[in-house]
Structure 1
Amino acid sequence: MSGKIITVAQQKGGSGKTTLAAHLAVALAQHSVPGGKVRVALLDCDPQGSLGEWFEARETTLGEDGTGLTFRTASGWGARREARSLVRDYSFVVIDTPPKSDVESRPAIEAAHLVAVPVQPTPIDLWATQPTLDMIAKEGTASLLVINRAQSRAALTQEIGAAIMALGHPAAQTRLGNRVGYAASMGKGLTLLETVPGSKGAHEVEALAAEFRRSLGD
């Protein structure tokens, strides 16, 4: 396999998985490399289909030939097969998984080179993350925790951030802020990188994508 598979997983709902998957995919696709473009595919394994709805809105906004991404769906063990097929032709495959279902998420985690685990800086989210980390550890897959919707000046964010580090799993240095622009851009099938390029939020996403590339040895 020539490319890399990034699976976004978190059993707690409302963690921002789909938003993270979309923004990572676009950031990776925008990264320039010598000799050609970075090809990125999105694989939606969540029956709710939020990523698919985002991609349809993206096609409406940018045109079917202007999305800059390839989109596929799969479920259960089919996700592993589809991801391994896609990664032969793409630099990155980003997988969005469903919450509350280790049966549906496990094949996507098993296929991944790296699992992104979004965590909001609250005690409930921290407690709810442990089963996901246990499942990742059982599969022997590398992971990177991503602190999401962080309030930069909130003491709780710093406290929970330290607790996340203490979980013993690598955490991204870049934290994604709690910005209304994420929801606004997603509603148009876009990302902050496209609606407000050059903004602090866009820079955060770019920095996070760079961390993932480094973690994958890219």
Structure 2
Amino acid sequence: MSGHIITIAQQKGGSGKTTLAAHLAVALMRSGGRVALLDCDPQGSLGEWFEAREQTLGDDRTGLSFRTASGWGARREARSLARDYDFIVIDTPPKSDVESRPAIEAAHLVAVPVQPTPIDLWATQPTLEMIAKEGTPSLLVINRALARGALTKEITDAIHALGHPAAQTRLGNRVAFASSMGEGLTVMEIDPGSKGALEMETLARELVAALPG
């Protein structure tokens, strides 16, 4: 049985794509899955995180496998990894549909992180259109949500206007998500049981449940 490929895609920069990819991979690994990360972003931020993880935990104790690819090589690499792993999490570059499309085409599910502002939601439209052309199932993931609780009516209306499904689980605007990355870790590892850790674990379960089949 082949593994599931989850691609993190968002053409708008600054959405928290790499942080989501790393956290999702660790959440899936901690739930018992064999997980590989595939970095398709030339900036290499996910690779830097993984190197920090090797330094923090040891080369053979990261719990994850890591590969890089670019362009159409992403599709081939992802499908190759799917023979040996339960989950492949792909981080894609912003501002490039040419580089992102193969990773979206290969995916069983695309997660689209977006900050809860009308401008960010409007700027997400090209990403959603690209995903729709490939016919890949996808979910918006509200990231860096303020702790007020419910989203404002303006934001809720903007989400509905996109006509696109969104994950019920929202990730809060928490310092621990970013600060943990500097050590090659995640909020689940530096502060297990925290609100941020629980949010990420719940989101991971929701994304797995959304996978076709």
Q: TM-score, normalised by structure 1?
A: 0.94
Unaligned stretches of 5+ residues in structure 2:
none
Is the aligned partner of 1:172 residue 2:167?
yes
Match of 1:183 among 178, 182, 207: 178
Is the aligned partner of 1:105 residue 2:123?
no
Counterpart Cα distance in 2 of 1:92 and 1:194: 19
Unaligned stretches of 5+ residues in structure 1:
33-37
Q: Which residue of 2 is the match for residue 60 of structure 1?
A: 55
Is the aligned partner of 1:7 residue 2:7?
yes
Counterpart Cα distance in 1 of 2:116 and 2:188: 23
Q: Which residue of 2 is the match for residue 17 of structure 1?
A: 17
The offset of 1:154, in angstroms, is 7.2
Instruction: Give the counterpart letter for 1:200 in structure 2.
Output: K
Cα gap change, 1:6 to 1:124, in 2 (>3 Å): same
Contact 1:147 1:161 (8 Å CA) reproduced? no
Q: How does 1:129-140 map to 2 (within 5 A)?
A: 129-140=124-135
Counterpart Cα distance in 1 of 2:200 and 2:212: 18
Contact 2:5 2:89 (8 Å CA) reproduced? yes
Q: Which residue of 2 is the match for residue 210 of structure 1?
A: 205
The offset of 1:173, in angstroms, is 0.3
Aligned partner of residue 59 in structure 1, secondary structure = helix
Q: Which residue of 2 is the match for residue 121 of structure 1?
A: 116
Q: TM-score, normalised by structure 2?
A: 0.96
The offset of 1:216, in angstroms, is 1.4
Contact 2:6 2:108 (8 Å CA) reproduced? yes
Q: Which residue of 2 is the match for residue 144 of structure 1?
A: 139
Counterpart Cα distance in 2 of 1:210 and 1:74: 27
Q: Which residue of 2 is the match for residue 35 of structure 1?
A: none
Instruction: Give the counterpart letter for 1:14 in structure 2.
Output: G
Counterpart Cα distance in 2 of 1:99 and 1:143: 17
* Number of matched pairs: 213
Aligned partner of residue 71 in structure 1, secondary structure = strand
Aligned partner of residue 84 in structure 2, secondary structure = coil
The offset of 1:159, in angstroms, is 2.6
Q: Which residue of 2 is the match for residue 192 of structure 1?
A: 187
Counterpart Cα distance in 1 of 2:81 and 2:156: 35
Q: After the TM superposition, which parts of structure 1 deviate over 6 Å for at least 4 consecutive aligned residues?
A: none
**What is the alpha-carbon root mean square deviation over aligned residues?**
1.4
Counterpart Cα distance in 2 of 1:207 and 1:158: 24
Q: Which residue of 1 is the match for residue 148 of structure 2?
A: 153
178-187 or 151-160, which deviates more: 151-160
The offset of 1:165, in angstroms, is 3.2
The offset of 1:166, in angstroms, is 3.2
Q: Which residue of 2 is the match for residue 83 of structure 1?
A: 78
Q: Which residue of 1 is the match for residue 87 of structure 2?
A: 92
Counterpart Cα distance in 2 of 1:164 and 1:84: 32
- Alpha-carbon deviations, 1:101-123, whole Å to 9, x = none? 00000000000000000010112
Contact 1:122 1:156 (8 Å CA) reproduced? no
